[in-house]
Structure 1
Amino acid sequence: MKQLLLSRKVLGFIIPNLCTALIALITKLLASDGSGNLVFSEFVILPMLMGIFSAWFWKTEEYNTAKAMGRAGMLTIIAILLSFLFLGEGSICLVIVSPLLFAFIGVGLLFGRRMFGYGNGTLNVSIVSLLLLIFIADNTTSHSYQNMVADKIVVNAPVEKVWPYVVAYERINKPAGYFLFRLGMPSPVQSTVTGYRLGAGRKCIFSNGYTFEEKITEFEPNKKLTFAITEQPKDPEIMGHIDIQKGQFILQDNGNGTTTLTGNSWYALHVFPVWYYDLWAESVTRNVHLRVMDHIKELSERK
């Protein structure tokens, strides 16, 4: 009996992961829009189903909430490892997604423990069927989301001195402070241009050597620089997850020898739910802005 219990315990970790992986693969192949978007149901409904499936294997056991959360953590680790090995997800992406997976696997596990405890087979089937229906409907529906992030700093230098560094700046040697940069996410280190004019090419170079290819679309000396992203690197951390569309710097002469520098970025997000992933997208974008703008400030204020 103990051996049987042990096998059910192990199966409760393995089978739900394999089943949800298979469901995700099938729905991805059947997706109607072909956008490659990773949608709400893949990070909310599927983890809940995983937790419910696991609870079915463990329905004969007595375990408290703390133990359930420990098992939810183990299920999350297995799911993360499978994503890394077979889906090619980058390590930073997996760090970002893991709290969401853990939370909804835990919800599903607690819900499943209570659900199977009542022994109501009709309710069990109807709830699981409803979650599967939501998952399929969500995966076959078109999704789109765009956002703009803006940041401002004051530079203690006139606009004429700030402007050249806005267009292009020398290499940043200061270590990155943002925790995702410290974990290995590439950070901006340099920008170069083919000319100080409208239509010129611009490159934003990151710490791992990846380069964003850009084209200057607005060039108003000492006032505004706007550039379209013409090509972004095929980095597994961003490829298919976010498209950076354009960037912009606006300079405002404060009339007292200082300049207000505004950095704007526009992007399209391809991972959902927005309420979770856009928090990360905004945070990363903001820290890219501030790393570059603080460097521009340092160069401009240099005596």
Structure 2
Amino acid sequence: MEKFSQLKELLNVHIPIDRKKFFITGIFLFFVKYSLDRFVAFFFFDRVWWIAEYFKDPGKIVLLKKFYSDESGFYLTLLGISFPFIYLGTVFCIKRLRSIGLSSFWVLLFFIPLLNFLMFFLLSVLPENLYNRSDEETPSRFFPKSKLIVSIWSILFTASITLLFSIFSTDILKTYGASLFVGGPFMIGFISVALYSRAEPLDFKHAMAIASAAVSIAGVLTFIVAIEGIICLIMAAPLAYFLAFLGGGLAYLLQSKSAFVSSVLPFFFLLLPSFAYLEANLGEERELYMVETSLKISASKEKVWKGLFEFSDIPEPKEFLFNAGISYPIRARVEGKGIGAIRYCEFNNGVFVEAITNWEEHSTLAFDVVKQPDAMRELSPYKNIRPPHLDGFFASKKGSFELVSLGKNETLLIGRTWFLNRFSPASYWNIWIHWILHKIHYRVLDHIRVSVEKTP
């Protein structure tokens, strides 16, 4: 009966558990689960199961998205074995959350792949009654008295943590997803304002100043450590500041809920890396987007068609966009004639090699991109800075020229580019990509117009 009472007490979610017992119990259950999985894998499915498999492609277990037909039985078996351990893990996490003084709501994080391991570590480290302080223990005693020092501390701390997350997302996971461009700035605003408000209340104007300074410092640090160049930071800035203000505004509204905000803060540092990991491993198929630019030329279709193949070098650009590092076209030539011919479009930093797929005399020239240079050279004091996003996050896939007659001596020349965008949120980055491609299109189309209209 005594053993039964101890077991009943152990499984009672209303009775807290200290971190030592939680850690030992968690490690024991994990190795029991791992031993069962390894046994089943070896004796029933003739395969070896290593601990590292739990961290590889978690979408297999969560969404059953990447199963091969001969693997589905194996993973479903492991999922079935997991149910008792899921129940026990849920119970012990709730007990531990209550021991720390956090809401049982956070047990939901236990069901997120990878995050459950990080959550286990955090619950094993946080002390008892962390968020059950008496009224005498005000949070201000943990912060400096000076408003200036508190501001600097909250800004630098948040910006530094965000920088580490940026390195993890871009250099380690090689992903530029919503966790980086949406979650990161929101976290900067929320945490910087929340940390300051723990020391003393602040007004809305001060909250926005803290959020703005924090996201600005994060950008400066990103530039200083050579993660990104100035052009990429400028393009990311509007979204980053908007989301930082949103996060800071939410923290401002929650000032009176200091206990709730305190319970949220530790998990912000777990959520973003976990979502970034999921984004990197659960990549979805991306659709092709198209940009179209047209220009009226005072010449016949025959002359414009000839001008597609015979024009002088395009003058050096005056636009800041191109002088700051965005690649731009300088000349083009076509070798051969008809379908199968090769078009070489030379940019300032390399050559686009394009295979002609449609050749309709005086009407349409279409091609697939076989090879392309980097989309840009980063504007930075460091030499040869090359962020991972230059490797296929933006890629031109195909293009075309179409000639539409508007009369005897007027032709509408239409240039189109189809591209792949792996940045998220795509809707935001497509605004920049469309603008840049329109500039590139216009540079080519306008040069053809000038060349053709000068020809007698």
TM-score by length of 1: 0.84
Aligned equivalents of 2:227, 2:258: Cα separation in 1: 40
Structure 1 match to 2:30: none
**Where does 1:1-303 land on structure 2 (aligned, <5 Å)?**
5-26=147-168, 36-59=174-197, 60-86=199-225, 88-121=227-260, 124-125=263-264, 132=272, 137-143=278-284, 144-173=286-315, 175-177=317-319, 180-181=321-322, 183-206=324-347, 208-234=348-374, 235-236=376-377, 239-240=390-391, 241-302=393-454, 303=456
Per-residue deviation, residues 60-85 of structure 1 (Å, max 9, x unmatched):
24443333333333222322233334
Aligned equivalents of 1:136, 1:183: Cα separation in 2: 32
What is the Cα deviation at residue 254 of structure 1?
A: 3.5
Which structure would you say has the larger RCO, counting Cα contacts within 8 Å and 6 or more residues apart? 1
Cα distance change of structure 1 residues 126 and 186 upon mapping to structure 2, 3 Å threshold: closer
Structure 2 SS opposite 1:265 = strand
Matching residue's letter, 1:228 = D
Aligned equivalents of 1:136, 1:114: Cα separation in 2: 30
Number of aligned residues: 297
Identity, % of aligned positions: 27
Matching residue's letter, 1:166 = L
Query: Aligned Cα RMSD in Å?
Result: 3.0
Aligned equivalents of 2:327, 2:377: Cα separation in 1: 12
What is the Cα deviation at residue 293 of structure 1?
A: 0.8
TM-score by length of 2: 0.58
Per-residue deviation, residues 266-301 of structure 1 (Å, max 9, x unmatched):
000011111211111111111211121111111111
Q: Please tell me whether the aligned partners of residues 244 and 266 of structure 1 are also in contact (alpha carbons under 8 angstroms).
A: yes
Which range moves more in the overlay, 93-102 or 227-236?
227-236
What is the Cα deviation at residue 127 of structure 1?
A: 10
Aligned equivalents of 1:269, 1:105: Cα separation in 2: 24
Per-residue deviation, residues 210-235 of structure 1 (Å, max 9, x unmatched):
33232323222212111222222234
Higher helix share: 2
Gaps of 5+ in 1: none
Q: Please tell me whether the aligned partners of residues 175 and 279 of structure 2 are also in contact (alpha carbons under 8 angstroms).
A: no
Matching residue's letter, 1:120 = A
Q: Please tell me whether the aligned partners of residues 355 and 370 of structure 2 are also in contact (alpha carbons under 8 angstroms).
A: yes
Structure 2 SS opposite 1:287 = helix
Q: Please tell me whether the aligned partners of residues 52 and 109 of structure 1 are also in contact (alpha carbons under 8 angstroms).
A: yes
Aligned equivalents of 1:15, 1:2: Cα separation in 2: 14
Per-residue deviation, residues 222-268 of structure 1 (Å, max 9, x unmatched):
12111222222234557133101111101123342322211110000
* Structure whose alpha-carbon radius of gyration is higher: 2
Gaps of 5+ in 2: 1-142, 379-388
Cα distance change of structure 1 residues 127 and 45 upon mapping to structure 2, 3 Å threshold: farther
Structure 2 SS opposite 1:167 = coil
What is the Cα deviation at residue 123 of structure 1?
A: 7.9
Higher strand share: 1
Cα distance change of structure 1 residues 29 and 297 upon mapping to structure 2, 3 Å threshold: closer
Cα distance change of structure 1 residues 250 and 50 upon mapping to structure 2, 3 Å threshold: same
Aligned equivalents of 2:279, 2:432: Cα separation in 1: 22
Aligned equivalents of 2:175, 2:309: Cα separation in 1: 33
